[in-house]
Amino acid sequence: MKNTVLILGASGSFGSNCAIAFAGAGWQVRKYKRGQEDMTKAAMGADVIVNGLNPKNYKNWESELPKIANSVVAAAKASGASVLQAGNVYNYGSEAGVWDENTPHLARTKKGKARIAMEQVLREASVRNGIQVIILRAGDFIDSKPSDNFIDFLVGKLERGRFIYPGRADIPHAWAYLPDMARAAVGLAEIRGALGAFEDVPFEGLTLTGEEIRAALAQLTGQDVGLKPFPWLMMKLLSPFWGLARELQEMRYLWDTPHSLSGARLQSLLPTFKGSDVADVLKQVTDA
């Protein structure tokens, strides 16, 4: 009998890639239709619930993320499904380093605190209700197709020989190529019986400086590529009138904080897993 996965946020970047990866691995894939069906009813018969839901345009994270988490908990409790939650690095705060599953969650931003609150709902459900929760935590997304991810804006002027970068170009930054992250999600789902009740698994992905990306893009395109600063001043001026500009500013610190994600935990769980080559990943961006 095939395993069944219910994907929440199947039209989003992470969710759509998971739908492809799980189907490719032989799973029966269900796509939850937000606002059109009851999540708990949709989860019945599912073995795993993949949660890729987020409030749109960074809006109302503090109120909406816990609501989403509680809905996921109710669905998992009723169906008996394990939960695989897409996590990010907002939880960690601004202390530089190699972040792993033991790194304290010291976020001071609104969005960082909202992610911590969401994960706490899941953690408590794991303890109180016996729901298995697997958090797969990653850096900034890179997709294999045009999306709303930040990288698409950064390469938006590449044809003019410009790569926009939001911070220091000489420090490491964590990136996640979504087809690889989705494959890792499938791998963890398939060994869930050997995992604990609550797992926090960092996804190392790609650790790159802005200069390394610029150089790779120049080589791929065969043209001179220069670094162009991100228009942070414009974002500041637009903040009173444009919510997204205000929210982007709050996360600016990540571009000036040297960081990477440890791959040790994932490697111990999925020893044969291998991510894509940097050049192959960036080729997807330049071809998109």
Residue 59 belongs to a domain = yes
Residue 244 belongs to a domain = no
Residue 170 belongs to a domain = no
- Interval 209-227: pLDDT, tens: 999 999 999 999 999 999 9
- Interval 176-209: pLDDT, tens: 999 999 999 999 999 999 999 999 999 999 999 9
Q: What is the dihedral of CA 136, 9, 43, 79, to 10 degrees?
A: 30
- pLDDT attached to residue 244: 80
The 8-class DSSP code of residue 28 comes to E
Query: Count of domains in the chain?
Result: 1
The SS3 of residue 134 is strand
CB contact at 8 A, 50 and 8: yes
Residue 192 belongs to a domain = yes
Structural domain including 123 reads 4-143+175-205+258-273
Residue 187 belongs to a domain = yes
Predicted structure pTM score: 0.95
Q: What CATH number is attached to the domain comprising 192?
A: 3.40.50.720
Which residues of the chain are under the pLDDT cut of 70?
Answer: 1, 57-58, 288
The SS3 of residue 237 is helix
Residue 51 belongs to a domain = yes
Residue 250 belongs to a domain = no
Residue 221 belongs to a domain = no
The SS3 of residue 286 is helix
- pLDDT attached to residue 288: 53
Residue 152 CA to its chain's centroid (Å)? 15
